[in-house]
């Protein structure tokens, strides 16, 4: 007789419930936006009761903050893995730009666009988000410092170049909301790749030649 699988612990079930709720929150933020987001809809999408949601999260703002934190942790882990796993000969500035654009444009910054207006007007919500976003930016700066070693530039120069890249992408992605023009955005990406190829990648090439 085949033995039945062991029952999950209460802690494991609780973690699974929270995971489903956080994933449902991000999905609904992308689909409906912050103002149309409701906790009953989140519970329904996650396939759990409203009571289960309120057991883990105090209110809408609380679950959004936790969902954003979870999303940013996963994005940061993915970026670290990209830097660790990418062969050195392929870690050129074009590859980094393509990865960052894909990371930002496939939902990450669209979610940000949803909660930013509320954070501007709701100080309590803003105060909850600040440490989450600051932790993400600190992790990014640490990754940019690692890239500085690869490109042979000062850490501060790499951080400025890559943070400028992220700010450029934020503006471009915001513009896609009202402008469907892939060629327009592709040409800007190509322009920026050329710039970084010279400012960062070019220095490594000169160093090798020397």
Task: List, in order of start, the domains of the chain with CATH numbers.
Answer: 10-57 (1.10.10.60), 61-209 (1.10.357)
Q: Which of 189, 188, 76, 96 lies closest to 151, judged by CA? A: 96
Residues shown for the chain = 210
Residue 37 CB neighbours (<10 A): 19
pTM: 0.88
The pLDDT of residue 89: 81
Burial 168-181 (b: 16+ CB within 10 A, else e): bbeebbeeeeeeee
Tens-digit pLDDT profile for residues 143-199: 999 889 888 899 999 999 999 999 999 999 999 999 999 999 999 999 999 999 998
């Amino acid at each position: 007789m085949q033995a039945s699988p062991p029952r999950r612990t209460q802690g494991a079930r609780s973690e699974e419930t929270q995971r489903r709720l956080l994933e449902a929150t991000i999905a609904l933020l992308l689909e409906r936006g912050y103002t149309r987001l409701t906790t009953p809809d989140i519970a329904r999408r996650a396939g759990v009761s409203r009571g289960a949601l309120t057991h883990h999260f105090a209110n809408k703002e609380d679950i959004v903050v936790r969902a954003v934190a979870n999303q940013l942790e996963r994005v940061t882990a993915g970026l670290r893995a990209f830097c660790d796993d990418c062969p050195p000969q392929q870690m050129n500035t074009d590859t980094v730009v393509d990865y960052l654009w894909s990371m930002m444009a496939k939902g990450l910054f669209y979610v940000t666009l949803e909660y930013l207006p509320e954070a501007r007007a709701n100080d309590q919500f803003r105060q909850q988000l600040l440490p989450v976003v600051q932790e993400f930016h600190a992790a990014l700066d640490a990754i940019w410092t690692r890239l500085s070693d690869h490109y042979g530039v000062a850490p501060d120069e790499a951080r400025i170049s890559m943070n400028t890249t992220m700010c450029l992408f934020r503006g471009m992605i915001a513009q896609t909301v009202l402008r469907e023009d892939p060629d327009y955005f592709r040409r800007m990406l190509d322009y920026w790749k050329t710039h970084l190829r010279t400012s960062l990648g070019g220095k490594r090439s000169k160093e090798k030649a020397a």
